[in-house]
Structure 1
């Protein structure tokens, strides 16, 4: 699970970084010499939020499926523990 989630996270962060560079140097190419880097990063975050969901859909679905599998396993373990604590025979 962690590999899938970290991969998705890194992809989203790299998208923000790439957009920041494009916005920052694009502003310089347009003749805006004193364009703040912080502003480029903020614009990149706003643009990357919806763009990352669309571009990285396969990574997002894989991470979500991994999280769901872990949650299901935890739920089953919790139910088994509750069953044993109540003295019930565990299902086989």
Structure 2
């Protein structure tokens, strides 16, 4: 029987949790880039300097990369643990399938 989560509840399988937390982590990092780009553009407006949007976005990505490792450490570690859990489950399923194909009990 396939375990399907009810609407509004967290998925109970490792793949579902991984997908959810990976999406949250990705959106958090993208949000950080947007916030940093907005800050760069805002500061440039305050000091009466023109900074193109593309330049602000490039600097925001460069700044957000190491900053997100610190700010979102807990979420990143959860994603890493869930990747390990999914990988272990996949390895176990593969080994079970191979043993069944060999005729082992």
Provide the TM-score with structure 2 as the length reference: 0.81
Q: How does 1:5-16 map to 2 (within 5 A)?
A: 5-16=22-33
Structure 1 runs, 4 residues or longer, greater than 3 Å off: none
Gaps of 5+ in 2: 1-17
Write 1 or 2 for the structure with the bigger share of helix.
1
Shift of 1:38: 0.5
Aligned Cα root-mean-square deviation (Å): 0.7
Q: How many residues align?
A: 88
Once the two structures are superposed, the pairs formed by residues 19-38 of structure 1 within 5 Å of their partners are: 19-32=36-49, 34-38=50-54
Task: Tell me the TM-score normalised to structure 1 length.
Answer: 0.92
What secondary structure does 2:48 align onto?
Answer: coil
Q: Any gaps of 5 or more consecutive residues in structure 1?
A: none
